[in-house]
Structure 1
Amino acid sequence: MKGTFIDYELLRRFDIDAFKKRSPFPWEDIGGFLTQEGFHSLYTNFPSLDLFEYHSNRRRTHDQRPHNRHYLAYENSIYHKDGPPMDAGGLVRREQLPTAWQGFMDELETSDEYRRFIRRALGISDFIPRYAWHVGSKGSEVSPHLDSPSKIGTHILYFNTSVDWNPEWGGSTLVLGGKKIEAMNPDFADFETSAAARITDNHSFLFKNTSSAWHGATALTSPDGSYRRLFNIIFETSRRSVGRKLVDRARAMFALPS
């Protein structure tokens, strides 16, 4: 597919002020972020599961239950600083992606209007984007958590339809409010409120990372062969990336060990 994937008219109609005032943190369940043609093209050409690596029982910072899933990073992976083993998967280059996804990545990387929209919504002057695909299967869960402080916010694009996904199987991202315990590894029952974001038919979930931005997704009950598919656009602080570049430059100049 050639042309625009993002529905810019929708972005222009987006109520930034209402988004910022939303409780318990800024979030929005956005229907139609992609054009109909764009969504269909990306949905049909979703990256092959053969490119992914499976994350199984990885330990988490606050001993939350693990987020078991298939994971694929674009260009660089936070899980493999020096690149994954040759046969491990989990990292994809632009030229390895289907043509539709190459076009979409090009648009994300060059769209001034989308960047301005994100700056306004998240209240930031600059950010560094990072991209990753997640695929969940039966039993996969995203236990309640806060994102790392380096994340300013995330835009999650879902690639399921009402034909291939039954809401009774779970998978909705849950916005959690009113945490009733002090622990940093709470369960879903430890929150007073829970609101679900839709994950089918060209819906996406935008949220700002704050100290109250608790979210998660209950364990999937989908049948074998059915997958919850999403693409994460993560907006990180530029300071972290600038720091990495300075360290890499110093190592190159002075031949320091990595």
Structure 2
Amino acid sequence: MKIVNVVKPAIRILPMISKDEFPRMSIEDVQNNYFWGELINNQEGMYNFRKIGMNAPKDSLVLFQFDNIIIASAELLDIEKFVIPKDGKYYGAYRFDINSVKIFEPITLAEINKIDSNITAFSQVKQEINSLFMVEIQDLIKSKQMPILPDELPRQYYGKRTEGAKRQIVVNAYERNYKARQACIEHYGCRCVVCGFDFAKFYGPEFEGKIHVHHVKPLSEINESYEVDPINDLRPVCPNCHLALHSKIDGKVYDIDELKSKIKRLINN
């Protein structure tokens, strides 16, 4: 009888060199622009590495470490070694399943250590978490995943302001266009058009520019690709009002004017 050796998927922590690869980029920028933009759309899941890469079997869970926290994860499909270094510095690439890419609220060392006590520090050395803790790590990621509203989905890179095409990432999402979002904010500003909330005035100047962007007509109702008009189709709203606009109350979804009127009545009562 032939004995087949079954190689179990591993759990690996992959440190990202922020200074060289992602200069002056925030955690949110790396999550949205790189993981849900560049890695999926332009690189088709290929993540280049310098010098010696890690050894890990297919289907291993890779946790991406950025500035001493874990900010994303993906499942490994295979590892390719380059005969000639790409761009003179990349010696190979990891290929990830683009449908497995997840971003989430940062996971700290303390949270990882609570699951696997052998992980006592993050470093620039690729680390391995005991694969016996796979379920626990996956549950931790699930608990950290950020809720996705239909109108606040990953930033993408596209020349035209075309939106609405369905695709599989983590959920069946509608593609968003970051240029359209920026054009909306440049026109209307960063104050919520419903309640007037301003992140920078409330929390301080480091929160300048923080705002959600809401589609006046939900893309889920359009169900086809169209060229978005940032001025007529989009509005800046705060997270609370954004959630309210997408919440069904007695089977009814509020529009912006209705929600503004409701707030005004509540204040006056």
TM-score category (smaller protein)? under 0.3
TM-score, length of structure 2 as denominator length? 0.20
TM-score, length of structure 1 as denominator length? 0.20
Bigger-Rg structure (1/2): 2
